[in-house]
């Protein structure tokens, strides 16, 4: 399979290493300095693009891929306020997009169990719920995209909550998301339920970036030949 890497930071380089080891061809690796070259690629040259850049660049890259009929897997977070625009363009141009806040198989199982637990825990209002995420100091968005997906899974089961704040919350109608940036932490996410009597947590710790990279590569292998917008629930059939 011919893969175009859009973004060549630590994640892009890890994906390249894993892809080459599996026999795939990397037809290009675009850095922030040569992102304008994306428009020079066509579907005749590229089977799928994998995009890990920055929130301010992601939407433009996605739309260019739609215009060029190149299926694109997007791991950049922090751009979802533009999702409506992207969905509209995807339908208009018959594009193909696979996006996820996190490509780790373990994290997506975490999402699944998080919703199940939230549905059960709402029956016990004596337990207060909070989300915490810890990432490396280079991460640009806060809260993390993964934390926002976790929050969405909780909020859909707590209709009395009106939203979230990026801090601890003492308000019953707001879910607190605590964000910490520390060293080179790959990614830790915690959902904590606390009562006067006890506390229990749903906890995920990423040890390396390879789990994210291998999941993105799995999505890239799955995507060609499809049209529309997909995510990890489609890939993993959750």
Interval 209-227 mean pLDDT:
94
Over residues 98-108, the pLDDT tens digits come to 999 889 889 99
Is 103 annotated for ligand binding?
yes
Is 43 annotated for ligand binding?
no
Task: Assign 208 a pLDDT band (cuts: 50, 70, 90).
Answer: confident
The reply to whether 224 and 162 lie within a common domain is no
Task: Assign 234 a pLDDT band (cuts: 50, 70, 90).
Answer: very high
The reply to whether 194 and 152 lie within a common domain is yes
Whether 140 has a pLDDT exceeding 90, the answer reads no
Sign of the CA dihedral 61, 72, 75, 84? positive
The reply to whether 179 and 218 lie within a common domain is no
The reply to whether 19 and 95 lie within a common domain is yes
Task: Assign 141 a pLDDT band (cuts: 50, 70, 90).
Answer: confident
Is 136 annotated for ligand binding?
yes
Is 149 annotated for ligand binding?
no
Task: Assign 195 a pLDDT band (cuts: 50, 70, 90).
Answer: very high
Is 146 annotated for ligand binding?
yes
Cβ contact 150:202 at 8 Å: no
| Rounded Cα gap, residues 179 and 168, in angstroms | 10
The reply to whether 56 and 31 lie within a common domain is yes
- Residue 135 is part of a domain; what is its CATH number? 3.30.360.10
The reply to whether 197 and 218 lie within a common domain is no
Whether 78 has a pLDDT exceeding 90, the answer reads no
The pLDDT assigned to 196 comes to 97
Is 216 annotated for ligand binding?
no
The reply to whether 131 and 94 lie within a common domain is no
Whether 209 has a pLDDT exceeding 90, the answer reads no
Residues involved in catalysis: 135, 139
pTM to 2 decimals? Answer: 0.79
The reply to whether 76 and 94 lie within a common domain is yes
Domain extent, residue 94, equals 2-99+210-236
Over residues 1-45, the pLDDT tens digits come to 999 999 999 899 999 999 999 999 999 999 988 878 999 999 999
The reply to whether 184 and 95 lie within a common domain is no
The reply to whether 110 and 94 lie within a common domain is no
Whether 148 has a pLDDT exceeding 90, the answer reads yes
Number of structural domains (the chain) is: 2
In the chain, % of residues over pLDDT 90: 87
Taking the mean position of all CA atoms in its chain, how far away is CA 211? 13
- Residue 231 is part of a domain; what is its CATH number? 3.40.50.720
The reply to whether 114 and 172 lie within a common domain is yes
The reply to whether 214 and 200 lie within a common domain is no
């Amino acid at each position: 399979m011919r893969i175009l890497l859009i973004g060549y930071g630590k994640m892009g380089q890890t994906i390249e290493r894993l892809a080459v080891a599996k026999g795939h061809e990397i037809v290009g690796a675009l850095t922030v300095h040569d992102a304008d070259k994306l428009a020079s690629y066509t579907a005749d040259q590229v089977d799928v693009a994998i995009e890990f850049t920055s929130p301010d660049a992601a939407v433009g890259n996605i739309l260019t891929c739609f215009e060029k009929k190149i299926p694109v897997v997007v791991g950049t977070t922090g751009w979802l306020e533009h999702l409506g625009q992207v969905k509209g363009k995807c339908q208009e141009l018959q594009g193909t997009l696979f996006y996820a806040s996190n490509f780790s198989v373990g994290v997506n199982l975490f999402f699944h169990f998080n919703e199940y637990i939230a549905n059960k825990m709402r029956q016990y209002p004596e337990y207060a719920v909070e989300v915490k995420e810890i990432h490396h100091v280079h991460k640009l968005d806060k809260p993390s995209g993964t934390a926002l997906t976790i929050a969405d899974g909780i909020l859909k089961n707590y209709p009395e909550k009106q939203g979230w704040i990026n801090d601890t919350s003492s308000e019953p109608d707001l879910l607190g998301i605590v964000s910490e940036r520390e060293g080179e932490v790959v990614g830790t996410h915690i959902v904590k339920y606390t009562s006067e009597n006890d506390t229990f947590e749903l906890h995920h710790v990423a040890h390396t970036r390879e789990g994210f990279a291998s999941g993105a590569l799995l999505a890239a292998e799955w995507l060609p030949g499809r049209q529309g917008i997909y995510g990890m629930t489609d890939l993993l059939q959750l």
